[in-house]
């Protein structure tokens, strides 16, 4: 049996429902009659689009940009969110929409965080 972790993200391959785990139970996540799929966090860019978060720490804020070369933000291909995690809890999130800049500013001074982004086509990156 696989151990679930806080803040894991599961998706239904049929309807696209997404679930973020914020409390761990003993059951299996099911949607549309089948087990939901765990989104694995990717760490290394491959291909022409760049997904790895670029993190800039300033005195009282954290700026996160998606990719050294900005990620496309088109209707069919864009970054859905940028979030900060600490101890596997989501502490801040910025929802993005097509045509917005692929970046977010968080007014948080704690540098002991993990950043995660979700591309609507290429999945989850940290």
Element (H, E) at 30: strand 30-31
- Name which residue leads in pLDDT, 105 or 6: 105
Which domains are assigned to the chain?
9-38 (2.20.28), 53-125 (2.60.40.730)
CA distances to 55, 62, 68, 97, 114 from 72, in Å: 18, 21, 12, 11, 23
Number of alpha carbons in the 13 Å side-chain half-sphere of residue 32: 10
Model pLDDT, residue 4: 59
Tens digit of each residue's pLDDT (9 = 90 or more) over 45-57: 766 668 889 999 9
Whether the predicted model's global pTM rises above the 0.85 cut: yes
Phi-psi domain of 47 (left: phi exceeds 0; alpha: psi -120 through 50; beta: other): left
What does the alpha-carbon distance between residue 60 and residue 122 come to, in Å, rounded to a whole number? 31
């Amino acid at each position: 049996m696989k151990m679930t972790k806080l803040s894991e993200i599961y998706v239904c391959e049929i309807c696209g429902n997404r679930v973020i785990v914020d409390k761990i139970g003993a059951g299996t996540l099911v949607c549309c009659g089948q087990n939901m799929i765990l989104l694995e966090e990717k760490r290394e860019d491959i291909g022409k689009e760049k997904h790895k978060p670029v993190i800039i720490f300033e005195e009282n804020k954290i700026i996160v940009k998606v990719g050294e070369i900005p990620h496309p933000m088109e209707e069919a291909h864009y970054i859905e969110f940028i979030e900060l995690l600490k101890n596997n809890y989501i502490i801040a999130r910025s929802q993005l929409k097509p045509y917005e800049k692929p970046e977010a500013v968080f007014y948080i001074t704690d540098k002991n965080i993990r950043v995660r982004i979700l591309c609507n086509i290429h999945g989850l990156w940290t």
